[in-house]
Structure 1
Amino acid sequence: MISLISIVSSVDMVEIVFEAGKLGMALEKHAVSSVADGGAAAALKVKAGWVIRKVNDDDMPPDKAIIMKHAAAAMKAGSMTITFQQPLEDGKHHCIGCDKFIDAAQFDGAKNDLGAGPGRQTCCSCEEFADFCG
């Protein structure tokens, strides 16, 4: 059984209930890096680039291993609710450095630009700051 999307506390957050089984999505840090055709995530309209903020009611760090551990425990109980953050506008992408959705143009010229993919991309400002701070 698949549950549909419901809006939670803010307009950029989406809460989705997954039933026991394979999620059908790959993660990089806490970002959805890909969604498998025909999987549960695709059926629930999850998109690559969305960021996992909560599993059930637990806040999640940008750490795939921790997220998967929480997800496995929740699935043993039968179902799990994931709260995703999504961009509010087209052309916005998630930066792993500042953990925000920002304009695509702010990734131009970065070593880990949009071509690096969700969960790997860093905006120019965060990349410059990291270089400055060594």
Structure 2
Amino acid sequence: MEKPKIIIELKDLEKKKARLEELIMHYDRMSQSVPGPNYDREVVDGTRNNEAPFVKWVYKKIEAEEVLEDVLVKIDEKMRELDDELDAIDDEMAMVIRYRYILKECWDDIAKHMNYAVSTVYRLHAKGLEMLKKTGDANEL
């Protein structure tokens, strides 16, 4: 079963967000660490770098945070777009997809919330994705 384009894009943005958050944490750790002396490199005359060693990590962290803000805005736009498309399909199917992709619930929790068996949730999910794909294809025309 192929997922609708909007859900694939949303998952890609979520992965990018997670990678950026890890990168920001790494840059933060590096900016707070003190590098040890390097005795084995050759001393070369030339312009000396007078910046503290942690400054480059602070700059990288700031750049990554700006990119993360852009990704968060895109995620918010995609969530709204998905929510608008879900209004066009059956309420039960839309609810399963909202629980799964917007609220990030697992299958068992969705079944508990809706008082259905997990197999029913799977079936509603598959039908909902199919309907969502049809509405998405119709919107692209």
**TM-score, length basis structure 1:** 0.28
More helix per residue: 2
More strand per residue: 1
**TM-score, length basis structure 2:** 0.27
